[in-house]
Amino acid sequence: MANRMSMADQSDWGCYLHGRDALRRGVTRRGFMKGGALALIGTSAIPAFLSRSVLAEVTTAAASKKRLVVLFQRGAADGLNVVVPYREPSYYAMRPSIAIQQKDVLDLDGFFGLHPAMASFKPLYDQGHLAIIPAAGSPDTTRSHFDAQDYMESGTPGVKATTDGWLNRALQAELVGRPSAFRAVALGPQVPRTLQGRVPAIAVNNLVDFSVGGKGPQSSPISNAFQAMYDESSDAMLHGTGQETFEAVKMLKATDPAHYQPAAGVVYPNGPFGNSLKQVAQLMKANLGVEAAFSDIGGWDTHENQGGVNGQLANRLKEFSDSIASFWRDMGDEAESVTLVTMSEFGRTARQNGTGGTDHGHANVMFVLGGGVKGGRVYGRWPGLAEEQLNEGRDLAVTTDFRNVLGEAATKTLGLKNLATVFPGARLSRSEFLNFS
Mean pLDDT is lowest, of 254-258, 358-362, 431-435, for: 254-258
**Cross-strand pairs, 348:** 360
Q: Is residue 28 part of a domain?
A: no
Three-state SS for the chain is: CHHHCCHHHHHHHHHHHCHHHHHHHCCCCCCCCCCCCCCCCCCCCCCHHHCCCCCCCCEHHHHHCCEEEEEEECCCCCHHHHEEECCCHHHHHHCCCCCCCCCCCEECCCCEEECHHHHHHHHHHHCCCEEEEEEEECCCCCCCHHHHHHHHHHCCCCCCCCCCCHHHHHCCCCECCCCCCCCEEEECCCCCHHHCCCCCCEEECCCCCCCCCCCCCCCCHHHHHHHHHHHHCCCHHHHHHHHHHHHHHHHHHHCCHHHCCCCCCCCCCCCHHHHHHHHHHHHHHCCCCCCEEEEEECCCCCCCCCCCCCCHHHHHHHHHHHHHHHHHHHHHHHHHHEEEEEEECCCEECCCCCCCCCCECCCEEEEEEECCCCCCEECCCCCCCCHHHCECCCECCCCEEHHHHHHHHHHHHHCCCCHHHHCCCCCCCHHHCCCCC
Domains in the chain: how many in total? 1
Residue 306 CB neighbour total at 10 angstroms: 24
pTM value? 0.82
For residue 268, what are the domain limits?
A: 37-211+260-432
Q: Is residue 221 part of a domain?
A: no
pLDDT at 54 over 80: no
Distance CA 314, CA 82 (A): 9
Those residues whose C-beta lies under 8 Å from the C-beta of residue 112, and which sit 6 or more positions away, are 83, 84, 85, 86, 132, 134, 378
Mean pLDDT, rounded, of the chain:
82
Q: Is residue 158 part of a domain?
A: yes
Q: Is residue 17 part of a domain?
A: no
pLDDT for 253 equals 78
Span 240-255, average pLDDT: 64
> 275 near 238, Cβ under 8 Å?
no
Q: pLDDT tens digits, residue range 403-430?
A: 999 999 999 999 988 999 999 999 998 9
Binning pLDDT at 50, 70 and 90, where does residue 245 land? low
Taking alpha carbons only, the member of 235, 236, 211 closest to residue 225 is 211
Those residues whose C-beta lies under 8 Å from the C-beta of residue 81, and which sit 6 or more positions away, are 95, 98, 99, 100, 115, 306, 308, 313
Distance CA 379, CA 377 (A): 6
Phi-psi label, residue 174: left if phi above 0, alpha if psi -120 to 50, beta otherwise: left
Taking alpha carbons only, the member of 200, 225, 199 closest to residue 212 is 225
> 32 near 40, Cβ under 8 Å?
yes
pLDDT at 235 over 70: no
pLDDT for 62 equals 58
> 98 near 81, Cβ under 8 Å?
yes
Return the amino acid letter for 271: G
Q: pLDDT tens digits, residue range 136-192?
A: 999 999 999 999 999 999 999 999 999 999 999 999 875 556 667 789 999 998 999
pLDDT at 56 over 90: no
Q: Is residue 6 part of a domain?
A: no
pLDDT at 50 over 50: no
pLDDT for 246 equals 66
Span 330-334, average pLDDT: 97
Q: pLDDT tens digits, residue range 2-44?
A: 344 433 333 333 333 333 333 333 333 222 332 222 233 332 2
pLDDT for 283 equals 93
Q: pLDDT tens digits, residue range 373-396?
A: 999 999 999 999 999 999 999 999
Q: Is residue 222 part of a domain?
A: no
> 168 near 194, Cβ under 8 Å?
yes
Q: Is residue 90 part of a domain?
A: yes
> 287 near 268, Cβ under 8 Å?
no
Q: pLDDT tens digits, residue range 212-232?
A: 434 444 444 434 444 554 455
Phi-psi label, residue 307: left if phi above 0, alpha if psi -120 to 50, beta otherwise: left
In the chain, % of residues over pLDDT 90: 65
The CATH number covering residue 313 comes to 3.40.720
pLDDT for 49 equals 34
pLDDT for 173 equals 74
pLDDT at 67 over 70: yes
Q: Is residue 316 part of a domain?
A: yes
Residue 178 CB neighbour total at 10 angstroms: 12
